[in-house]
Amino acid sequence: MNYERLRIPDVVLFTPKRIDDARGFFSETFRQDAFDAAVGPSTFVQDNHSYSEDAGIIRGLHFQRPPHAQGKLVRVVRGAILDVAVDIRVGSPTYGQHVTAMLSVQNWQQLWVPVGFAHGYCTLAPKTEVIYKTSNYYSPADDLGLAFNDPALAIEWPVVADAARISDRDRHHPRLEELQQCFRFGEPTMQS
């Protein structure tokens, strides 16, 4: 499994090897030892599966606050997404900055979004399915969000923000300047 650190080096793009032949393909999509070598020890406790009927659907930007903060390993098994991770760690040299990656069934890449980042994506194809592992269980009481269209973030979504298909909940998340400060850069975080 190959990997590369993105402009914000805590966010890592993985490319699992895939063996194709006339029958189809085989791929090791996750190896704990390879993952730990790239990002450090982590344990995953939950897998989530999301389906979006149309292109142009934005989900996010989401995160969970401590003690239920989550790291996420995101991959696409059908369709394609523009995946976004925003650094929300107070004191980080990249606080408020984001990185993006296009994940698709064709490129077979996966994005590691660590604790301390808000995460979201926009579907680029109809009938897109996203699967992601999380390093902590879902906690409704700790589920928070960041405004996907905050001008301070300068995210170039592939759809016009006013025309984006997004949940009512996601339309009402606070902007970065109003965000509850849950993470501090340099403080130890549990990935699990």
Q: What is the CATH number of the domain that holds 108?
A: 2.60.120.10
Mean pLDDT within 52-59 = 96
pLDDT at 191: 47
Quick check: 82 and 100 in contact, CB under 8 A?
yes
Supply the pTM of this predicted model: 0.94
Checking DSSP bridges between strand 12-15 and strand 18-21, what pairing results, if any? Answer: unpaired
pLDDT at 77: 97
**pLDDT tens by residue, 110-151:** 999 999 999 999 999 999 999 999 999 999 999 999 999 999
User: Is 192 inside any structural domain?
Assistant: no
Q: Who contacts 108 (Cβ-Cβ below 8 Å, separation ≥6)?
A: 15, 16, 18, 27, 75
Q: Who contacts 37 (Cβ-Cβ below 8 Å, separation ≥6)?
A: none
- Percent of the chain's residues with pLDDT above 90: 92
Mean pLDDT within 71-77 = 98
Q: Which of 3, 62, 68, 138 is catalytic?
A: 62
Identify which of 12, 40, 190, 38 has the alpha carbon closest to the alpha carbon of residue 116. Answer: 190
Q: Who contacts 36 (Cβ-Cβ below 8 Å, separation ≥6)?
A: 42
Q: Is 62 a catalytic residue?
A: yes
Longest dimension (CA), the chain: 53
Q: Which of 98, 119, 132, 173 is catalytic?
A: 132
The tally of domains found in the chain comes to 1
pLDDT at 189: 62
User: Is 139 inside any structural domain?
Assistant: yes
pLDDT at residue 188 tops 80: no
Residue 94, domain extent: 2-17+27-184
Q: Is 98 a catalytic residue?
A: no
| Cis peptide, bond prior to residue 41, ω within 30 of zero | no
Identify which of 80, 150, 173 has the alpha carbon closest to the alpha carbon of residue 122. Answer: 80
User: Is 22 inside any structural domain?
Assistant: no
**pLDDT tens by residue, 27-55:** 999 999 999 999 999 999 999 999 999 99
Say which amino acid occupies 115: V
